[in-house]
Structure 1
Amino acid sequence: MSSPSAGFIPQLRQASRQMVRELGFMHSTLAATDYSPSAVHALLEIGQGNALTAGDLVTLLGLEKSSVSRLVRKLVEAGEIREQADAQDARSKRLHLTAQGRQTLSGIDRFAQAQVAAALVHLSADQQLCASTGIADYARALRAVRLGEAPEPPACWSIARGYRPGVIGRIAEMHACYYAARAGFGQAFESLVAADMAELMGRLHNPRNQVWVALQGERIVGSIAIDGEGADGEAILRCFILDDSARGQGLGRRLLVEALGFCDQWGFTATRLWTFKGLDAARTLYEQQGFVLVQEQVGEQWGAAVTEQCFVRARRAEHAGTR
C-alpha cells in the first residue's frame, strides 16, 4: 500500500471535521428526530433487516457493550425496536424494528435523502462519483484501522489488447451502470452500446480496429476501443469506460495513452470521440492528450436529453507519414 502524503492528512482532517458539523453530529439529536446520533445509527443498521444482535451493534457502531445495552433498552422502551430470542441460540436476542420503528426510520431516510440530494446539486457528475467512491474508501480504511485489520494487498491491474470472451457484455454493463446513475439512461442506451460493440468486434480482423481492456486479475474493469474505419481517414475512439472500483488507479490514462499510441502508429488523419457535457474529469484527461472540443449538440436518442460533445485530436506531425 502507498504511504500517505503529508499534505493529505490535514486536508482529510479538516474535511472530516466539516462533514461532522454539516451533517449535524455536533447536535444532541440527529436527522430531525428526538434521538441521539448513536440511536439514529442503531435504527438504520437494525432497519437493514439482518436481524442484528446487541453484539453486532458493538462492532458496527464502535461503542462499548454497556453503551449499546443502554441504547437498546432505551429504544425498546420507546417502542422503536423489539427483541426476539434466536431460534438457534436462546441466549442471543435478535433486534427488529416495530411498526413505529419502521415509521421513524422512514422519516430518517427522507431527511437524509433530501440532505444528500441538496448537497449533490453543487457537484458535477464526476465530482459526485469522486465523492461517493472516495468517502466509501476512506470509511472502509478507518473501520479497518479500528478493528485492527491488515491493509488489503494492492490490486493486480493490467492492460490487455484484443477480443476476449465476455468483453461485449461487460462493456455494455459498465456503460449501463455508469450512465444510469449519472444521466438516467436505461435499456435503450445499454442495447445500443451492446449492438455497437458487437458490430465493432466483428471488424477486428481489420488491423486498423482494436480494443483494449483493463483487468483486475481476470475481471474486466475498463475498456477503450478504436474504430479505424472512420470517414476521411479518421479514427473514432469508442467505449472508453471504467468500473467504479477501478477509478483513481491511473487506468483511464493508461488505456487512453495505449489507444492514442495505436492511432499515431497508423497515422490516422485525426482521432474523434463523442461524449457528454458534465464529465469534467474525462474532459480534462482528453484535453491533456491533445483533444479539442469542436462541436456541441443536444441529443435525445440515449433515453434522456443530454448535451453531446465532440472532441478531435489532430494527427501528430511526426507520424504523418506512418503506414
Structure 2
Amino acid sequence: MATPQLINDIRAASRQMVRELGFMNSTLAATDYSPSAVHTLLEVGMRGSITAAELVVLLGLEKSSVSRMLARLIQAGELKEVPLAHDGRFKQLELTAQGKASVARINHYGEVQVQKAMDYLPPDRQKMVAGGLAAYASALEACRKDAPLPAGTKPEIITGYLPGMIGRISEMHANYYSRHYGFGYFFESKVAAGLAEFAGRLESERNHIWLAVQNDRVVGSVAIDGEDLGNNEAHLRWFILDDACRGSGIGRQLLASAMQFCDRQQFSAVQLWTFSGLNAARRLYESFGFRLAKEWQGDQWGSSMLEQQFTRHRVSEQR
C-alpha cells in the first residue's frame, strides 16, 4: 500500500494538474464547452460513434447529466443522432462536420500544451510521465469500477518466524509512537528486546505470531504469548500496522486470527496492556470482547502515560 506521504504527494500533484490543465475554469481547451462536453467530443471523435449509454459508463457521470450535455451539443450542431443499422429504435452519436472541426481544434490545443510542457523535461522523464500517467489513470478506473486487486497487492497473513521480522516490527512501533507520542530509543529497544526473547519461544504450541506481508515486506503483526503470564492466560503483544494499512481491514484480520487461536487453546483469558489515546485500536479490541479492566499513571515506556489493561475472558465464560 502507498504511504501517507506518497498519497499526499500524488494528491498535491493532481490538484496542480487540474489547475494547470484548466479544469478549474467553466470551459476547457479554448472552447466554449465544459470539461465533460470536451471529453465527450473527443471520445466520439476517437470512436467514430457511441451510444449515450456507453458514454455514461465511459465518463462515469449520472445518466441525467449526460443526457442534458448531449442535448446541448446536438443543439449546438456538434453532434448528431443516427439510428443503429440493426435496430432503428436506438440511436448512436456521431460528430457533424462542425464537430469534427471542433475536435481538430481541441486536439491541436492539447498537443501544443503537452509539447510545451515536455520541452521542460529531458527525454527519459518524458517517458516516465507518459507511463506513470497511463498507469495511474488505469488504477483510478479500476478503483471506480471496484475491480479486484491484482495478485500480490493485498497483504497476506502468514504465521511463524520470518527473517527480519524483529527489526521490521520494532521499526513500525518506533516510527508510529515517536511521531505521535514522542517515544525514543528506550521504547524501541524495549520492543526489540521483548520480541527477540519471544521469538526464541515460538516453537511452543502456546505461542504464536501472525504477520501481514505485502511484496515480501512485513506491514502488520500481532502475537499471542501463552507462557509469560501463567494462570492459563494469554498475553496479546506487538499489535501494529504500517501507516499505509490503517483502515484497510488487515488489523481486524490479524486480531481475528489471534482470537481464534486463543479460543482453540482454551485460555481462560487474554490480557493486553496499552495506554489511553489509541481510540481506533480500543474500538477494535472491544469489538472482539476486550473490556477495560484497570488504568493507572505509569512510565514503563519511557514517558508518563495513562496506562490501561484490557481483558477478554474465554468466549464460553462470557455467555
Under TM normalisation by the shorter chain, which class is it?
0.5 to 0.7
User: Is the alpha carbon distance of 1:275 and 1:148 closer, same or farther for their aligned partners in structure 2, counting shifts above 3 Å?
Assistant: closer
Aligned mate of 1:151, from 128, 132, 139 = 139
CA contact under 8 A between 1:226 and 1:236: conserved in structure 2?
yes
Aligned to 2:315: 316
Aligned to 1:162: 160
> What CA deviation, in whole Å up to 9, does each residue of 1:241-269 have, x standing for no partner?
00001112100000001001000000011
- By how many angstroms is 1:92 displaced? 5.9
Give the CA RMSD over aligned residues: 3.0
- By how many angstroms is 1:147 displaced? 10
Aligned mate of 1:220, from 214, 218, 221 = 218
Aligned to 1:171: 169
Aligned to 1:305: 304
Aligned mate of 1:63, from 20, 29, 46 = 20
Aligned to 1:270: 269
What is the 5 A alignment of 1:160-199?
160-199=158-197
- By how many angstroms is 1:297 displaced? 1.1
Q: Distance in 2 between matches of 1:57 and 1:253?
A: 32
- By how many angstroms is 1:173 displaced? 0.3
User: Is the alpha carbon distance of 1:164 and 1:148 closer, same or farther for their aligned partners in structure 2, counting shifts above 3 Å?
Assistant: closer
Q: Distance in 2 between matches of 1:305 and 1:238?
A: 20
Q: Distance in 1 between matches of 2:278 and 2:317?
A: 31
User: Is the alpha carbon distance of 1:319 and 1:276 closer, same or farther for their aligned partners in structure 2, counting shifts above 3 Å?
Assistant: closer
- By how many angstroms is 1:231 displaced? 2.1
Q: Secondary structure at the match of 1:189?
A: helix
Q: Distance in 2 between matches of 1:199 and 1:253?
A: 26
User: Is the alpha carbon distance of 1:61 and 1:240 closer, same or farther for their aligned partners in structure 2, counting shifts above 3 Å?
Assistant: same
Aligned letter for 1:306? M
Q: Secondary structure at the match of 1:214?
A: strand
Q: Distance in 2 between matches of 1:205 and 1:147?
A: 44
5+ residue gaps, structure 1: 1-44, 46-55, 66-90, 94-143
User: Is the alpha carbon distance of 1:290 and 1:92 closer, same or farther for their aligned partners in structure 2, counting shifts above 3 Å?
Assistant: closer
CA contact under 8 A between 1:265 and 1:319: conserved in structure 2?
no
- By how many angstroms is 1:303 displaced? 2.3
Q: Secondary structure at the match of 2:138?
A: coil
5+ residue gaps, structure 2: 1-11, 23-118, 122-131, 143-148
Q: Secondary structure at the match of 2:303?
A: coil
Q: Distance in 2 between matches of 1:276 and 1:57?
A: 38
- By how many angstroms is 1:280 displaced? 0.8
Identity %: 48
Report the TM-score, using the length of structure 1 for normalisation.
0.54
> What CA deviation, in whole Å up to 9, does each residue of 1:155-209 have, x standing for no partner?
2221000001001001000000110111110100000000000000011111100
Aligned letter for 1:151? A
CA contact under 8 A between 1:58 and 1:64: conserved in structure 2?
no
Indicate whether 1:255 and 2:254 are aligned. Answer: yes
User: Is the alpha carbon distance of 1:315 and 1:187 closer, same or farther for their aligned partners in structure 2, counting shifts above 3 Å?
Assistant: same
- By how many angstroms is 1:287 displaced? 0.7
User: Is the alpha carbon distance of 1:209 and 1:319 closer, same or farther for their aligned partners in structure 2, counting shifts above 3 Å?
Assistant: farther
Aligned letter for 1:293? L
Aligned letter for 1:167? M
Q: Which has the larger radius of gyration?
A: 2
Q: Distance in 1 between matches of 2:201 and 2:213?
A: 23
User: Is the alpha carbon distance of 1:148 and 1:280 closer, same or farther for their aligned partners in structure 2, counting shifts above 3 Å?
Assistant: closer
Report the TM-score, using the length of structure 2 for normalisation.
0.55
Q: Distance in 2 between matches of 1:319 and 1:277?
A: 25
* Number of corresponding residues: 191
Q: Secondary structure at the match of 1:232?
A: coil
Aligned to 1:246: 245
